[in-house]
Each structure stands twice: as C-alpha cells, then as structure tokens.
Chain A
Amino acid sequence: SQQGEEDPQALSIQEGENATMNCSYKTSINNLQWYRQNSGRGLVHLILIRSNEREKHSGRLRVTLDTSKKSSSLLITASRAADTASYFCATALGGGNKLVFGAGTILRVKS
C-alpha cells in the first residue's frame, strides 16, 4: 500500500491565488520530499524536509511537516499558469531505503 496519500486529488484555482496540497503517511520517516510532474514528463524534485524540521521555504514554496500527525503540506503562493502540474509527496524511510510515492494532486491554475 502507498505510504503517502495526497489531498485533494485535484485542485483548480485562479492565477495569483495560493494552492495548498496535503500529504499523509503511515510510518516514521527520515525525510519527506515533494516532486512536480508536468503532463507526461518525468518528475522533478522540488523540496525536501527532514523529520526534525517543521517548516521549510524555497522561493514561492512553503512546506510544513507535522510528525505527530504524520502529515505534510505544500503551499504554492501567488500561483502562475506555469504551476499547472501534478504534485507528489514521497517519503524516505531512511537507512538508504527507496522512496515511496503518493498518488499525487493535480493542480490547474487558470489564467
């Protein structure tokens, strides 16, 4: 079964609005990562947050992690049409293990 589950499955917003996507997971993790996928293309790493961190920023991206609730959120501020893509969370269990990906959130930003 998948470790990460994203919510919502799909999100449609207007350009300039903020987009928030959530990820829940089941077991203890070493870190949690967010990836972006443009339609039919490979995934691109966006940001990583370690288990001992609570919040991290990168440009217009803000990631939070709540290990007590086993959940993370990705906030994209001031969204642009070019942000239209699928976003996946992936959990790393540590110890040189592989990543486990969720099913993704499809984000559509309308101009």
Chain B
Amino acid sequence: DADVTQTPRNRITKTGKRIMLECSQTKGHDRMYWYRQDPGLGLRLIYYSFDVKDINKGEISDGYSVSRQAQAKFSLSLESAIPNQTALYFCATSDPGTSTDTQYFGPGTRLTVL
C-alpha cells in the first residue's frame, strides 16, 4: 500500500466551486506539505504543517486554505476555484528526526477548473 495517498486523483470543476483535496499518510511523519506543479515551473509550495497545531503559508497561498485534522491527514481547499488554479497538486511528508528534510510524495491530484 502507498505510504502517501491523495484523493481524488482527478477532478474537473467549474469556476466558483469549492474544492477539497485530501492527503493521508501512514509514514508517521509530523511534517506535511502541499505543492502545485505547472509546466516549466517545477513545484511551488502552497502550505506546510510541521505538526497538528502548526500551519504555515508557502510561496503561493493566496486562494487556498488548509486543515491539519490529524498527524496523518492534511487537506487543501480552494474556496472559490478559478481557471488559473488548474494544475497538478502534490502532497508530501517528511520526518524531522532525520534532519535531511527528505520528502515523500503522494501520486498527485490533477485538477481542472473550467
């Protein structure tokens, strides 16, 4: 079974709709991250959480919100989706105990906003 799972894997929605992307992990890691990937731009950090009570904005947090429901769950919400939020979204985890910041990624969610 995959250590980091994301649901849904694909989603098509319309402008103005509220969307939630979910991430679950069985790695027991405290740290979780949400990225978006656009062609030619690599990964850009949206939000990250270093433990259940810690939420931090990343490089491109505008238009997004997150919720860390438990150590294993970190969800990303688009309150009112717009077309330029069409992208591939990735969740990742890391273990602070390793001191290397190595991250483990989920399979991604392809989101299309029409």
Count residues on chain A whose CB falls below 8 Å from chain B CBs.
24
- B35, B100, B104: which has the most chain A beta carbons within 10 Å? B100
Partner of A42, one of B45, B102, B105: B105
Total residue contacts A-B, CB cutoff 8 A: 57
The answer to whether B4 has its CB under 8 Å from any CB of chain A is yes
Secondary structure at chain B's binding surface: helix, strand, loop or mixed?
strand
Count residues on chain B whose CB falls below 8 Å from chain A CBs.
26
Q: Please measure, in the bound complex, the distance between the C-alpha atom of A27 and the C-alpha atom of B108, giving whole angstroms.
A: 29
A40-B110, A42-B108 as given contacts; A92 in contact with B4, CB under 8 Å: no
**23 residue pairs A–B, Cβ–Cβ below 8 Å:** A9-B40, A40-B88, A40-B110, A42-B4, A42-B90, A42-B105, A42-B107, A42-B108, A43-B90, A43-B103, A43-B105, A44-B105, A45-B103, A45-B104, A48-B102, A88-B43, A92-B100, A96-B50, A97-B101, A98-B48, A99-B101, A101-B42, A103-B41
